[in-house]
Structure 1
Amino acid sequence: MTKALHLMLLCLLCFFLASEAKGQFVVQDTAFFTSKAQKLKIPFKLVHNLIVIPVRINDSKPLNFILDSGVNSTLITQLSYSDSISLNNSSKITVQGLGEGYVLEALVSRGNSMFIRNIKGENQEVYVLLEDIFNLSTRMGMPIHGIIGYDIFKNFIVKVNYSTQCLTLYRPDTNLKISKKAEVHELHIEDAKAYVFANVKQYNGDSLQVKLVVDTGASHSLSLYLPTNDKLKLPPKVMEAYLGRGLSGDINGKIGRLDGMSLGRYEFEDLPASYPDEAAIRVALNVANRNGNLGSDILKRFTVIFDYPHNRMILLPNRKYKQPFNYNLAGFEVSTPMPGLQVYVVSNVALNSAAHKAGIEAGDQLMSINGQDCHDMDLGQVLSELEGRPGQQLRLVLKREMAPYKVTLTLENRI
């Protein structure tokens, strides 16, 4: 239902442009199994289509990190007073990413150790934002401390089973048995980012090949950068949308539906695509000649194997493969002002949406859905209740300024 995060982490694709341009020295990092096992399983939580895993850095307690294949180094976005962590060899830098705004100050720390179950990473580089601009914890309904990506997982073959919510990491020399129902795609690794080529079919009948970052840290289906190809066109029916938050400010743009998209033999029809405004993605436009990114609303329909050592990605459809693509049918987004507590607040209401027509406003507290008390539901359950089908009615109880009110909301597709 709520895709507020769907471009939020896209900003991090350009995170290192500012810092690496300073010519700072590079220390070889590595990651390895601490046991003799051939593979290692890591359960994860899936919220907003995003993968959350526990990570320890040096002497810290387990911290919650989003697994984002679209970033290279590890980024700490938030630490509370109760989170204690020691970082080595720190220095201050400025960073710039997507968004319309300003540059940020951050710390870069080198020579750190990371621990994920029976995996240890040595000489790891960690970036720390000095301002929590993403508010990931309130949007994810749980404490989120940062984002981890390519630096650790490039050392392994990584299988992401979205259905069972489990990662399996294999040693890089493992000879995997590939199901006959799966398809192998070449991964093009450039500047520590993985790209694939796909084809998009537009409303005017044009089909064209696009180069996409494979981005587990984006919860949407697909993002396309119009300025990168004259043949990329906006669909005739679009809506203005707040697409998320970048390192340098808000990302605005439009959302519309593509006639289709194909990735090898896998084909999807009538799927929503995001089209960020040019001003918000200016930093990314000249990077690797890419045309956009492939997000988790598509990836979650497969068991995905990232075989970085052999530059390939293996896709095996799961039970969600044929599910239709819906986008924010209720017309509002939900956040948790006190992460960890089951209190849910309307954070944004889309203009002319079902929620807007029903009089729901940002700041209203969501009390119950179809008779279920929201205090008894985690964020995933709340979102699941709100992610129905077009035409479905929801009975909501909300509270505004301590006064409860009732709404019957009819879910609708606006694109």
Structure 2
Amino acid sequence: MNMGWPLNQLKRLKSIFLIVVIILVSIHLSTSASAQSFKLDGQRKKDVIDFLRIKNLIVIPVYINNKGPYNFLLDTGVGQMIITDTAFLKILNVKKFQTYKIQGYGLGKDIEAILTRNITARVGKSEIKNIPAAIFKEDIFDLSSYLGIKIHGILGYYFFKSFAVRINYSSNKITFYAPNTKFKIKGTKIPLRIINAKPYIQAEISVDSLTKTEVTLLVDNGSSHPLMLEAMGDRPFPLPDRTIPANLGVGINGEITGNMGRIYALNLQEFTFKSVLAGFPLYDSQRIDLEGTPRNGSLGAEVLKHFLVTFDYENDALYLKKSNAYQKKFDHDMSGMEIYVLKSPKDHYYISRIEPGSPAETAGLYPGDEILTVDFKGIEHYTLNELTEMFRDRDGRQLLMEVTRKNERKIVLLKLKRRI
């Protein structure tokens, strides 16, 4: 039910739990060309930059053609640089470049994008010239609304292939080392395979306490989920006994629906996690055909944040070292609603989706409601990230919320509930 917000906007602004599942095809810009790499200035061997961590995702400052900084997601799950801010179509004067059709995993029409090499990108003290990039003609992800800050694009393979990249989720710092630089390796080595510009590992999972299954997982730090399990051979991945329907994210062509549940255990060599949240998308053979890489699913940032993580593409290795977040448990949103931000000019927080039978529905909240206060505190005192963490805080927590619906203010009591 739409209670005051345009339905087409609500559909576009649904939360991206699996933040980006991107498969670019019909792109003739090679991702294996050795000429395109980031290079550190002068004789530098390493650099360190700060990043913003929002909903487990990494946002870094990137300069494009000596302008910026612009906010980019740093994402192992993408090849070409992707620019989602349509303003770049004018900024970069791309009229002379050819338009391509982009296909992806999801439902809906193909999306048009301009493909160009007319870009120099700079991260910290490193730079790459003529980086292959896709500039979308439509901002289909609306990442800015999802993360609460302006997002201009996504950077992936070209950065990770240029350096050994160490991500410290505890200090929000990234250290990257030039090739052949000697530095102290921290953590357990896990073999990594780079296929079509994306990293894959082998892991072992147990859906229940009796069975163990070896799986191939895409390591996707640009996805905020712990695990996504999609296929077992040419069939859907078997579901655990208890699941709930869920909107699992958005792909290039539309929403990805399925179920959310917990598996008994995830094993990454010596590291074992119990009662891990996992998404189970509706099986779609089209996704497998488009991607062209057999895999069972993906490992996301909700798992990676438990470690100091080092990606070493050059030597086909991933290193994991326990961090102070290692013991943190996996919890799903306990409100049953998704929220987004609109800036006009200040932040306005709206509910985009209510899950049937959820605490939010029981409390009488509706899609389109604008949130004004939470526990007597004006919404301007919260960030989107803080609200997201609050709604997954603990089973039974009660939150008093004031919302407006069709210019009428309402007070509701939301009682959080662990549903999985």
TM-score clears 0.5: yes
Quote the offset at 1:85 in angstroms: 3.3
Give me the whole-angstrom Cα distance separating, in 1, the residues matched to 2:14 and 2:71: 20
Counterpart of 1:224, as a letter, is: L
User: Greater CA deviation, 401-410 or 353-362?
Assistant: 401-410
Give me the whole-angstrom Cα distance separating, in 2, the residues matched to 1:227 and 1:200: 12
Task: Map 1:4-403; keep pairs closer than 5 Å.
Answer: 4-10=15-21, 12=22, 14-15=23-24, 17-20=25-28, 28-80=35-87, 84-86=91-93, 90-179=97-186, 182-203=187-208, 205-228=210-233, 232-279=237-284, 282-283=287-288, 287-338=292-343, 341-403=346-408
Quote the offset at 1:293 in angstroms: 0.6
Give me the whole-angstrom Cα distance separating, in 1, the residues matched to 2:185 and 2:153: 33
Quote the offset at 1:176 in angstroms: 2.2
Give me the whole-angstrom Cα distance separating, in 1, the residues matched to 2:286 and 2:260: 15
The runs of 5 or more residues in structure 2 that have no matched partner are 1-12
Whether the 8 Å contact between 1:97 and 1:283 is mirrored in structure 2 is no
Whether the 8 Å contact between 1:200 and 1:209 is mirrored in structure 2 is yes
Task: Summarize the Cα distance change of 1:276–1:18 in structure 2 as closer, same or farther, 3 Å threshold.
Answer: farther
Quote the offset at 1:249 in angstroms: 1.7
Task: Summarize the Cα distance change of 1:224–1:340 in structure 2 as closer, same or farther, 3 Å threshold.
Answer: farther
User: Greater CA deviation, 33-42 or 69-78?
Assistant: 33-42
Give me the whole-angstrom Cα distance separating, in 2, the residues matched to 1:66 and 1:344: 22
Give me the whole-angstrom Cα distance separating, in 1, the residues matched to 2:294 and 2:123: 34
Count of aligned positions: 408
Quote the offset at 1:83 in angstroms: 7.8
Task: Summarize the Cα distance change of 1:219–1:125 in structure 2 as closer, same or farther, 3 Å threshold.
Answer: same
Give me the whole-angstrom Cα distance separating, in 1, the residues matched to 2:31 and 2:37: 19
Give me the whole-angstrom Cα distance separating, in 1, the residues matched to 2:367 and 2:40: 47
Secondary structure of the residue aligned to 1:305 is strand
Give me the whole-angstrom Cα distance separating, in 2, the residues matched to 1:341 and 1:382: 17
Whether the 8 Å contact between 2:86 and 2:135 is mirrored in structure 1 is no
Give me the whole-angstrom Cα distance separating, in 2, the residues matched to 1:114 and 1:362: 39
Task: Summarize the Cα distance change of 1:50–1:377 in structure 2 as closer, same or farther, 3 Å threshold.
Answer: same
Task: Summarize the Cα distance change of 1:105–1:3 in structure 2 as closer, same or farther, 3 Å threshold.
Answer: closer
Give me the whole-angstrom Cα distance separating, in 2, the residues matched to 1:132 and 1:53: 19
Quote the offset at 1:228 in angstroms: 2.9
Give me the whole-angstrom Cα distance separating, in 1, the residues matched to 2:31 and 2:279: 35
Give me the whole-angstrom Cα distance separating, in 1, the residues matched to 2:54 and 2:391: 14
Quote the offset at 1:281 in angstroms: 5.5
Give me the whole-angstrom Cα distance separating, in 2, the residues matched to 1:24 and 1:64: 22
Task: Summarize the Cα distance change of 1:27–1:230 in structure 2 as closer, same or farther, 3 Å threshold.
Answer: closer
Q: Which residue of 1 aligns with 2:8?
A: none
- Superposed CA deviations along residues 33-74 of structure 1, whole A, max 9, x for unmatched, are 014332211111111111111112224322111111011110
Counterpart of 1:377, as a letter, is: Y
- Superposed CA deviations along residues 170-219 of structure 1, whole A, max 9, x for unmatched, are 1121222134xx21111111111110111110126221011011101111
Is 1:409 paired with 2:417?
no
Quote the offset at 1:6 in angstroms: 2.3
Give me the whole-angstrom Cα distance separating, in 2, the residues matched to 1:243 and 1:369: 26
Counterpart of 2:218, as a letter, is: V
Give me the whole-angstrom Cα distance separating, in 1, the residues matched to 2:337 and 2:252: 24
Secondary structure of the residue aligned to 1:381 is helix
Whether the 8 Å contact between 2:86 and 2:137 is mirrored in structure 1 is no
- Superposed CA deviations along residues 132-162 of structure 1, whole A, max 9, x for unmatched, are 1111111111111111101122110111111
The runs of at least 4 aligned residues of structure 1 exceeding 4 Å deviation read 22-27, 86-89, 283-286
User: Greater CA deviation, 385-394 or 298-307?
Assistant: 385-394
